[in-house]
Amino acid sequence: MATTQRLHPDAPSLALFNRELSWLDLNARVLDLAADPNEPLLERVKFCSIFSSNFDEFFMVRVAGLLDQVISGLAVRSQDGRSPQQALEEIRDGALDLTQRQSRLWREELCPALAAEGILVGSVEDATAAERTELESVFAREIYPVLTPLAVGPGQPFPYISGLSLSLGVIVRDPESAEERFARVKVPEGLDRFVGVGSRGLLIPLESVIGHFLPTLFPEMEFVEQVVFRLTRDGDTEISDDADDLLEAVESELAKRRFGAVVRLEVSSAVSGAMLARLQERLGVGNTATYPIWSLLDLADAGQLYALDRGDLKYDPWVPYTQRRLASPTDEDVFAEIAQKDIIVQHPYDSFATSVESFVRAAARDPHVATLKTTVYRTSHDSALAPALMVAAENGKQSVCVVELKARFDERRNIEWARSLEQSGVHVVYGFPDMKIHAKTTLVVRRDGDALRRYVHIGTGNYHATTARIYEDVGLFTADPDIVADVADLFNFVTGFGRPQRFRKILVAPFNLRKRLVEHIREVAEAAEAGKTARIRIKVNNLTDPDIVEELYRASQAGAEVDLIIRAICTLVPGVPGLSENIRVRSVLGRFLEHSRLFCFEVEDEKTFLLGSADLMQRNLDHRIEVVVPVEDVQARNELESIFKALLADNAHAWELNADGSWERTKPKKGERRRAAQAVFMRRRDRARRLARSH
């Protein structure tokens, strides 16, 4: 279903869509996938879960930020011309529409489809007598012991309610005195959201089970009303630019986050006016921050259903491919291959374990390696990165890890990683209070005969073993003397004290990345103006930087063809005559999260390919350490070319942005076969695998 975002009448001369409303459009596309009967059923359930998780973060960060502006009285309009209050009003309209669509989808399509497959999601009322007996036993044994009813009355203040926790609000009456009290029962977070009972596997939401057995928590009381509700609190952190101890400052902000202001109250749509008024008064929430929900609250927990052992209702399992050049029997062979020629990997089609993780493991073990340096923005408990750094330190190598403590919602995990690394002898650096280190780089220094040689991996995604199986990212392994020298200089800047010198090849924010990208765009525009064939292709997650948008408009006006693959937020307005008529914007979603950042600037037969960590946003170009690297090897360039071609030809999981702000899903034309880019990438690896076996 297409959504439409209109340009604001007070917009400045530069035509831009609103960033927050563009984010809502992204989630409309995710909901489209959840509603698509061509997708496997449990994958649709997962998309429904992703939609809810995305909404939580949106309210915790973006909506919270706008509310802060309103409260502080800031009258500054956003780049698209909206005041914070105007943006909030439009966000509410869009969010209400999307949550209603999700509720209908869950009730009317997904639950009946699951039931048809023998996966019954219901209520206690749907249980048979035998199932209710079993449920009573489960409640007494596993649920009741961890419940704490909190009544409100004399000496019993209204309880603190943490963000994103599910609660039952109950009005309880004493039949003898007729006294009524409000009580809150928190739905325990450590238990499964769906309680399974009976041979048919009936799945009952945990809050429904608790609601049924409330008399065990409030003996001999009458129940006037019960309702399910949930809060979202401001989840952003603010670190002072002059913080002396960054670790201490981040820990302090994490403690404050628990008590952030309420930015959203979700409540069951059946709530009475009296109960809603009581909740709003106690929580300090108005109608504009209240969202009635017409189905289960917090459908992010529907991910529990995806974990069911029903492979027939999911995508076929994908086994990542190990590139022939990386299938080396010894650590020395890995470095020899990189020294000989650059290597491009695209995850999850190419194995993260046998490429990036093998690279760092080889560096940790190889007696000829002297130094291993890397950056951590987000990582996982099962990542080989931290163990490799620890092994390297134990083996007497210089082992350095730059840990970004301010990676939103991963701060606590990164603090734990940093302390573990320090205890193992790894040199840990925390970066800068005023600038996140978002670059994805690993540097290895190895002795080769009488000389030291450096090897580098530069990627578009985090060193995260779990997300590497579901995020699409691209990485470059190279021993190019200029690139490795640049990366070495960058590490010295981050860990030391001084101003970075001129980089030879890599583009680094906030130093030269913006300038170089603008130069590339202008070179293409000038060539188009001179009558040459000129084209720009860019693949990023988000495009919001107004200066880059303006440069792309100028390139279009000069006659350059511009193809943009923007997964999430896009403020550029395509297809406007005289402004952007040569610009096409598409978004590709699917089984894997498109996450790589790729660039191609083309003049006649000359092409400049780049890949790196930076999206085209002001924060990335001006307020973060980002690395973008040129790709110069012919075979590596061909790999990037094939990625662009497949994504631009996708007619199965692509949406195109119109000048009126509507997104339309592409469909195969009459007589045209269905082409899904992600399926193309998997088929290519399967062919390579079969070819390797035949030899």
Q: How many CB atoms lie within 10 A of CB 32?
A: 20
The answer to whether 571 touches 560, Cβ cutoff 8 Å, is no
**How far apart are the C-alpha atoms of 665 and 652, rounded to whole Å?**
8
User: The tokens of 309 are what?
Assistant: 């052992």
β partners of residue 149: 185
Helices (H) and strands (E) in the chain, counts: 21, 26
* Tokens 């390297």, located at residue: 392
β partners of residue 444: 372, 455
The answer to whether 272 touches 430, Cβ cutoff 8 Å, is no
The answer to whether 679 touches 688, Cβ cutoff 8 Å, is no
Among the listed residues 681, 654, 684, the one whose alpha carbon sits nearest the alpha carbon of residue 666: 654
The answer to whether 57 touches 409, Cβ cutoff 8 Å, is yes
User: The tokens of 660 are what?
Assistant: 């009126």
Active site residue 212: no
**How far apart are the C-alpha atoms of 537 and 563, rounded to whole Å?**
5
Among the listed residues 293, 297, 366, 357, the one whose alpha carbon sits nearest the alpha carbon of residue 326: 357
**How far apart are the C-alpha atoms of 539 and 609, rounded to whole Å?**
11
Distance of alpha carbon 333 from the chain centroid: 35
- The CA-CA-CA angle for residues 102, 104, 105, to 5°, reads 60
- The helix/strand/coil state of 550 is helix
Residue type, 119: I
**How far apart are the C-alpha atoms of 68 and 74, rounded to whole Å?**
9
DSSP string, 441-500: EEEEEEEETTEEEEEEEEESS-S-TTGGGTEEEEEEEE--HHHHHHHHHHHHHHHS-S--
Burial of 573 (0-12, 13-18, 19+ CB in 10 A): buried
User: The tokens of 327 are what?
Assistant: 């299938």
User: The tokens of 435 are what?
Assistant: 């600038």
Read off the DSSP letter of residue 660: T
DSSP string, 310-376: -GGGSPPP--PBPPGGG--SSHHHHHHHHHHS-EEEEETTB-SIIIIIHHHHHHHH-TTEEEEEEEE
Alpha-carbon torsion 275, 281, 286, 291, what sign?
A: negative
Among the listed residues 456, 470, 445, the one whose alpha carbon sits nearest the alpha carbon of residue 343: 456
Output the CA–CA distances (angstroms, integers) from residue 513 to 5, 24, 569, 614, 643, in the order listed.
31, 29, 20, 9, 23
Q: 8, 212, 347, 438: which one is catalytic?
A: 438
DSSP string, 622-653: HSEEEEEEEE--HHHHHHHHHHHHHHHH--SS
- The helix/strand/coil state of 243 is coil
Show which residues are catalytic. 438
